[in-house]
Amino acid sequence: MRVTANRLIENLMYDLRRAAARLEQRETQLSSLKQLNRPSDDPAGCLDALRLKRCILDTARYKENIDDAQRWLDMTEDVTSSLTAVSRSAMDLATRAASQTLPVESRQALALQVDQLIRQSIDTANHSTGTRPLLSGYETRSLPVQATKTGSEITGVTFSGDDGKIVRQVGPNATMEVNSLVAETLGPAGSSLVEDMICLRDAIKSADSAAISGAAQRVNEHHTRLVAIMGEIGAKGNRLELMRERYSQEEITLSGLLSRIEDTDIAECTVRVQAAAHSYATVLAVGARIVTPTLVDFLR
């Protein structure tokens, strides 16, 4: 087979380009600390890396949703805990007011304390997350509890808001309702905790033992319901904590798998860079010997 000088030069340039490309790829991997810098480096590896990155992003989003849900539950728990303390205090005052021998001045003092508990329960129920009322559902423009007054005395309340439930997606197929509504927390309008405490206050003022006993019984029912709500909130919080721990571990595992696919092993890559550099230098040396002889060298 006849081999011409052009054929030798073409083969040399082809081998030179391959050696230079191999050296450039190794140097890029070492400088970027990434094995995959373009899809052509490893198409299957790039596809696996994209899938893992998607899973990591989804996991991070679920963790953010869990944190947001936990903030809602914490605030709702604080409100419920405060209302539980209010109802407990109201029951204690009702027990003291049930005594038939209680002086009028002491009875009025007890009624005044119940009145302050009424105001405290309204303030607590109107607690805001900073941007919206906590117990008003989707309604953000008005407070969930509005007091009706006669002079300076609270004689009733009205509820506003809607039945909207704040839902957070905390997993691929898992959602959680994170808010409570005012009617669920205080009780339905007409027989809410605030209205029953108003009845208790008025009964204490009038020394009506039967009315005091009935109002105290209703307040006790509210207290039992609030304790149950706190238990439900605690159960949701425990579930969120378990899910957060699982997603944190899953994020670590996925990040490790992604690192194996796309991150550079520095020691191994350094050896490969040196080998590629030596290969490139060898091709240059061989090329120098091929290109040097010309026809002039033989015209002597």
pLDDT by 10s per residue, the chain, length 300: 566 667 777 777 777 788 777 777 777 767 767 776 777 767 887 888 889 889 999 999 999 999 999 999 999 999 999 999 999 999 999 999 887 778 888 889 999 999 999 999 999 999 988 788 899 988 888 889 999 998 889 999 999 888 889 999 999 989 999 999 999 999 998 899 999 999 999 999 988 889 999 999 999 999 999 999 999 999 999 999 999 999 999 999 998 888 788 767 667 767 777 877 777 777 777 777 766 666 566 665
Which of 83, 85, 77 has its CA nearest to residue 180? 77
Q: What is the pTM of this model?
A: 0.76
State the DSSP string of 59-94: HHHHHHHHHHHHHHHHHHHHHHHHHHHHHHHHHHHH
Plot region of 149 (φ>0 → left; ψ -120 to 50 → alpha; else → beta)? beta
Helices 43-97 and 209-262, packing angle to 10 deg: 170
Class in CATH terms, 52-255 = mainly alpha
Residue ranges of the domains in the chain?
52-255, 265-300
CA–CA dist 240, 65 (Å, integer): 10
d(CA 145, CA 187): 12
Cα–Cα dist 148/156, whole Å: 5
